[in-house]
Chains A and B, each alone.
Chain A
């Protein structure tokens, strides 16, 4: 039973061919400046310039002094580099009565961001794991309902959420005062009210809930792609719900964790709507404060400070993308496989 390769060798031995015949041979040559390449790279370069130009203008402007900006050469490099606008934007710019710059907003954002990211990802991870590997009666229906949440516009929910936060705050205050003396004995310790609406924790709650549909989808699909046999093997090995999650599933889910963290960090950091609706002036996140600085109508417009403030606000998501770009792509690809 001779295969093709053997036949060819045999044939070659019978009638040897000397030398090569003229004509195409080996790999086909490629030209560097083909029409296709010029079109492709040309378009890519133009698009890149289109997107990078505003960034260039912002950086350049933020490093100029006001007199130099007034000359009007938007694209020119600064003649004299100054970091004064950056310092002013961070520590001195005024919004309303506060004149401590963006730093207050930055720390507010951090205080909102960290608990929101941790809580939302933890809950979504456990839910996704349950919905993919510990299916219960009606789990698919539950998942479908959860997914529908992703399609309801935020504007519709703004006011109902205000009421819900207010009512939850009131309810928790009732419990707090009702159980007075059971948990605390200090005099006057139960006189305070629990305020969810208009507080950082209210906003954390809102971010956690609104992040749920997309995050649960992400985790559920990722865990679905982990073979069931692995899960069965762990059960035969005596691992329970939490052990399988922490010892088997989570060590395999770094890519999807990175995706979830990036989505949540950038989403929450860039959020403006919830920040402006559910918090007060003292707790405004950075985006809201930036808006207040840039859009203030009093005094002269300090373009360099505005540019610096915008750059400062955008720095966190920018860093996240730079650090984790590769992992992000890998995670997105991994999570997109199964539905």
Chain B
């Protein structure tokens, strides 16, 4: 057995002239929870379908547990898949849905019984076994769909936006349950979503995709704090990151009224060349009030619009004429039109090259 659960080597997929995936490489460790994150049309679902064997790649190889499965049928790959629309067989009972795959694989009857019972116990759907999918709620349906993958004793679970059809509260509940399930089963899981909260909370590693390429593959922590380029920085975080155009010269970043020493900033290996640069500052990393006075870089901005959200307050302001967002603690009083002193810590900011948009 290898340490790698799923390996994708130079995967290409073209639909006619459209290149959906391009020379994509991905190594997923055994027992890892990997999230494929990206906006719609970035190829994340396509990649998942390729791993499942539901789409034929134009070129490249796919290995599962060290075995080349590129030409294998979906059912022979040791994968289970959960779909966004649940895709339960409407005319079968929950029990029938769970056992359909096992019957196809000619598993003995008592073994089917045992596995269905175990899955039902794990997912707490025992009372529903005799019901048809039509008589279940959305959350229950999704549990049955997960159970269908569970009974087949697969190495890898594939999730294609499984929570997108549920309402917000149920989504949060099921998200926690999924995480618990992963701890309990310790299978490899590959999870496709466009929801960054799901990605940040569930993933061991996140792969951010754009245009059929993986932009960054790393732990949620690194992706949030050290995005490799401006796209990733913009995509992760809500409200999204502020970008300030300026110049970097002699270790100081200047943009209009803002001056920032970069002594505390960790430059990437390429180093901090002088020239035009973009500073990315997360709204939640900006401090105000007394804390601002002690911050390495300070300036004054005017609060144009205040959006109170209870736990925190989002302040819209302007820096060098561009919109600038600040997230403040909910109990700090702010009014429209007030002038705020803000403080920025360069260590928590990100600097990008203006031309390449890569991290400096």
Contact = CB atoms under 8 A, between A and B. Distances in A.
A and B from one assembly?
yes
Contacts of B145: 233
Interface stretch (B77-85, B119-127, B265-273): B77-85
Interface string A126-168: 0000000000000000000000000000000000000000000
Contacts of B105: 238
A232 interface: yes
B91 A237 contact: no
B116 to A, nearest CB: 14
B100 interface: yes
Nearest to A226: B90
Top 7 A-B pairs ranked by shortest CB distance? A238-B75, A237-B101, A238-B104, A233-B87, A229-B87, A251-B91, A229-B83
A311 to B, nearest CB: 40
A252 interface: yes
B83 A238 contact: no
B296 interface: no
A227 interface: yes
Interface residues of A, number: 16
A237 B102 CA distance: 8
B54 interface: yes
B227 to A, nearest CB: 33
B101 A236 contact: yes
Nearest to A231: B87
B87 A247 contact: no
B133 to A, nearest CB: 11
A248 interface: yes
Interface in A203-244: 227, 229-230, 232-239, 243
A64 B89 CA distance: 57
Interface of B: 49, 52-54, 73-76, 79-81, 83-85, 87-91, 100-101, 104-105, 145, 148, 152
Contacts of A248: 89
A243 B87 CA distance: 16
A252 B90 contact: yes
Contacts of A236: 52, 54, 74-75, 79-81, 101
A234 B89 contact: yes
A237 B87 contact: no
A237 B83 contact: no
Secondary structure class of chain A's binding surface, majority of residues: helix
Contacts of B91: 251-252
13 contacts: A229-B83, A232-B87, A233-B87, A233-B88, A234-B100, A235-B73, A235-B74, A236-B75, A238-B105, A239-B100, A239-B104, A248-B89, A251-B91
Interface string A299-322: 000000000000000000000000
Nearest to A239: B104
Contacts of A234: 89, 100
A243 B105 CA distance: 12
Contacts of A237: 75, 100-101, 104, 148, 152
Given A235-B75, A251-B91, A227 B85 contact: yes
Contacts of B81: 232-233, 236
Nearest to B154: A236
Contacts of A238: 73-76, 101, 104-105
Nearest to B96: A247
A255 to B, nearest CB: 13
B104 A243 contact: yes
B88 to A, nearest CB: 8
A239 to B, nearest CB: 5
Contacts of A233: 81, 83, 87-89, 145, 148
Contacts of A251: 91
A238 B75 CA distance: 5
Nearest to A238: B75
Given A232-B52, A233-B81, 10 more contacts: A227-B87, A235-B75, A236-B54, A236-B80, A236-B81, A237-B75, A237-B104, A237-B152, A239-B104, A247-B100
